[in-house]
Structure 1
Amino acid sequence: MQLLLLPLTFLSKFFNAHAFFIASLPILWMLFKNPLDIKKIIPRRRTIVIWVIIILLQILAMLISFPYTSMSAVPIGIVQSVVLLLKQVVMIWMIYSFTKLYITNQENAVKFIRWALYGYAIYAILVIMPEVLITIGVHSLDGYINTLASVFETRWAGRTDFYQLGSYAVTQGRVNGFEGESPVFANLLGVVYLPIVIGLLIGKDKLVFKKPKIILWVMVIVSGIFLLMAKTTTGILTIALLYLAWLILADHHDRKLLFLLGLVGIAAIALAYVFVTPVHNVLTQFLFEKQGTSNRLGGTIGLIFTFLSTPFLGTGQGFAGYFITEYIPTWSTHNWEYENVYSKLGYPVLSGFFGWLAQYGLIIMVPLLFFVTKYIIDLINRRKQYIQAQSDNERFYYSMLNSSLVTFAVLIPSSFLSFDIFKWSMFLMLFFYWRVLSLSADNQTFPEHHYIFKS
């Protein structure tokens, strides 16, 4: 049951609606079998105090922002925002609890990764590949994808302009894997699944698969096609970030091969751009002459000014929309999406990093950035200890440490441009890597007191 948690997140709409119930099942099952394990998931007093302070600071920020937003066309409720904040805290605690209870040794970690890739392969065959065929004109699969999408696809509120005609892939001609839109799908592959595959290739692991090279290289190539067929700047950026991270972390022999493959790839793309019309159209529309960026650029500018107006406490969770509307440049509002969606339902946060700054302020973000920096430094130092790994056990840890660094190499730049970075699946992998960092210590007692989730 616990091995299915990450694969189930592919069913985006269904999982989001029942996430807390689904995630609670393996936790309750483990506690039913081993009641004393409850001690593992009860945070220390210090951790609880930190979270209480964060929640109180956010409520204070909401109370300060409320008089302004209550006069807006789309008023924000404090109760609703507090509930959303508490749901995020509970989500983090549940994922922390899951990894503490189940990722307790290398065998469990290997099974978790193996099933994650099994799930990805099934998802690719049943959903992504049919969507790819649809994007290249094989419309005999429209009914199949439309039926599945009606149950499992996440759909943004207010977007009746194309959802009423069918699934995103059918109406937009872009692969989205049942996520809300293509950039979210690109982030899912780039942050959750491809770092696993690349890390296993870098570390030359043989525990997850007995014959890993063929399987993993097929996954890399096919996933690259998926990212291109998403027809989004985020997908192209994700490919570039993954390649650069792989190039930096690979050993000397693999680095030369990757460099050569990179040159061949660039030459192939250049030739395809000149001679293959679909490739030319995709690169022109989503890279060289990208249109429709006014909302994202205007929203990001609005977020920056929102942060500058409330730098210390922030606006509070969910209260940034009103201030974004106040600060966005007028030139960014002359488009269908703003006039028919954002002006009626509120301006969403379209940049993850600047959205966190604007909503949580420096008082929360500075310690968080310090924590993340310290964690990445620990990952780098631990990786150095395993760089000469020889045994299969050591190679697995080395692979996962590389996977975690590849994840951050994609996650950090993407957070400036993307707005739906932190999902259940992404938090699951981040906490999984945190547990691997612990298990990879020589005595398997990594000093977890460095981290806020110590129990």
Structure 2
Amino acid sequence: MSAWLIFFSLFVKQFTNVIPQPFTVLPFFVFSAYLIFKVTLQPKELFQEKIFQGKIVLYFVLLTVSEIILLIWNYSKFGSDSQDFNILGSFFGFLSTILSLLIVYLLLFCSIRFDADMYRYIRGTILTLAVMGILVLVPQLIVATGKNWTLSWVNYIDQSILPRWGIVGDYVKGSYAATMHRANGLEIEPAFLAGQLAVVFLPWVLSAVKHGYSFIKNKFGQFPTEAYVLLFFIAAVFALAKTTTGLVAIGLTGLVLVWDMRGGTQKFFITMAILGLAAITLAYFTINSIHGFLDGYLFAKGGQSASNRTGGTIGLFLTFLHYPLFGVGNGYVSHYIVQFAPRNTKLNVEYLWGFSHHYAVLSDWGGFLAQYGLLFFLPIIRKVRELFYDFRTKMPQDNLTIFVKDAAKYTMIMYGVLALFDFNWFSYYSLISIFVFVRFAQYRMKETQVLKS
């Protein structure tokens, strides 16, 4: 099953909007069926193991109690209107997130128990990227450039398995890619695709380049041709997706390649970075299309969407500064965004017709800090530090440990920086991509303890 985890997790289209999103997508049904099968097949083996740490259970109990108190307080303060999900809807939304975390944790606990399972997960993830690239991304990129060679296929994929915004104008030509001339993969928009590629796939590719791991041969000490091909393909998708998230991901990738590679590989990428920066700088000042592209998506973003995104992000961090310890809870944060967003960011039609009625969270870290505060954020930082300490001191420093440790490092870099913006960071594929490192550390440390005893 470990080889299929990322494949199934990519299907994020909801079957209905009546119940919370985590329970209305294909991964929920597939993963739930697998867990039920495992429990019925090996009930004693699973229940005899210590699956949860006491501190983790306490963390979520306190988080739930805090959420209940804040929901009651916010309801007494605001009542219920379009800016919130009402007190019951907000609480069920919160519980759905907790249950998603539980499902992912149990899924990884059951499916990854040995090194062979971990290798299957890694190679299955890369195979999923290759299949998605051939069947989805390349056809979308062809259509996005104005060629209609793959239009019917792209429209079929969009209409059958892709999620959609409730904006009819984004799909008048049959699909988002054909209408907006931007690739969105299996996600709802290009920014989410960029976040998905950066968090789920890119870290394994970067680690393979660094350590000479061949996904095809399943060996270290090789020249990873396929990793280089995938690296340049992902970078091309980042650029052609035309999104700030993708351009930031390119910058992060460049920094990793320049600062964290080794030997000749590092020298090669330093040379490429210098030449690339020189070429981009020259093109920015001499080619109008490049100048407009970089200004429009990076240096000088303008328009209503950029204004509302900026205002919403400022509103979230000001909410956090006003309520730094516990935050304001899940579900009612839109009221506070409207209250704290700068007035000049609200002077546009998109705000008046949309965000004034419900202000969406447009910065993942801003949203988390505003809703849950430092008391529930700092323990996460501590657990991440403990994870890397375990990688360094409590596991045998063989090829696999070092390879996975670097992939974990790159994942945290991508996840941590891109979460300043907005992507599908609590989807099943994002959660799996984070918790797989926790699971790897668990079984590896257990094996080490058994050997010592």
TM-score of the superposition, structure 1-length normalised? 0.88
Distance change (3 Å), C-alpha of 1:25 and 1:208:
farther
Q: Does 1:253 align with 2:261?
A: no
What does 1:184-223 align with in structure 2 at a 5 Å threshold? 184-206=192-214, 209-210=217-218, 213-223=224-234
Mapped partners of 2:203, 2:123: distance in 1: 14
Is the CA contact (8 Å cut-off) linking 1:113 and 1:208 kept in structure 2?
no
Is the CA contact (8 Å cut-off) linking 1:242 and 1:409 kept in structure 2?
no
Deviation sequence 1:228-254 (CA, Å, 0-9, x none)? 011111111101112212333222332
Q: Does 1:356 align with 2:360?
A: no
Distance change (3 Å), C-alpha of 1:199 and 1:76:
same
Deviation sequence 1:107-164 (CA, Å, 0-9, x none)? 110011111111111111111111111121112433321221122222234x333245
TM-score of the superposition, structure 2-length normalised? 0.88
Q: Does 1:168 align with 2:176?
A: yes
Aligned length: 436
Deviation sequence 1:305-336 (CA, Å, 0-9, x none)? 22233222221112101111122112112334
Unpaired runs of at least 5, structure 1? 387-393, 447-455
Is the CA contact (8 Å cut-off) linking 2:123 and 2:215 kept in structure 1?
no
Out of 40-49 and 181-190, give the one that drifted further: 40-49
Q: Which residue of 1 aligns with 2:191?
A: 183
Distance change (3 Å), C-alpha of 1:289 and 1:312:
closer
Structure 1 vs Structure 2: percent identity of aligned residues?
A: 25
Q: Which residue of 2 aligns with 1:104?
A: 113
Is the CA contact (8 Å cut-off) linking 2:213 and 2:224 kept in structure 1?
no
Is the CA contact (8 Å cut-off) linking 2:71 and 2:329 kept in structure 1?
yes
Mapped partners of 2:264, 2:424: distance in 1: 37
Is the CA contact (8 Å cut-off) linking 2:190 and 2:243 kept in structure 1?
yes
Mapped partners of 1:410, 1:382: distance in 2: 25
Counterpart selection for 1:139 from 148, 157, 160: 148
Q: Which amino acid aligns with 1:356?
A: F
| Cα shift at 1:440 | 4.7
What does 1:17-416 align with in structure 2 at a 5 Å threshold? 17-39=25-47, 40=49, 42-70=51-79, 72-157=81-166, 159-163=167-171, 165-206=173-214, 209-210=217-218, 213-273=224-284, 278-292=289-303, 293-344=306-357, 346-379=358-391, 386=397, 394-416=398-420
Q: Which amino acid aligns with 2:12?
A: S
| Cα shift at 1:443 | 4.5
Is the CA contact (8 Å cut-off) linking 1:69 and 1:75 kept in structure 2?
no
Q: Which residue of 2 aligns with 1:452?
A: none
Is the CA contact (8 Å cut-off) linking 1:61 and 1:316 kept in structure 2?
yes
Distance change (3 Å), C-alpha of 1:183 and 1:264:
same
**CA RMSD across the alignment:** 2.5
Distance change (3 Å), C-alpha of 1:401 and 1:73:
closer
Out of 431-440 and 122-131, give the one that drifted further: 431-440
Distance change (3 Å), C-alpha of 1:132 and 1:280:
farther
Mapped partners of 1:444, 1:327: distance in 2: 51
| Cα shift at 1:86 | 1.2
Mapped partners of 2:405, 2:443: distance in 1: 11
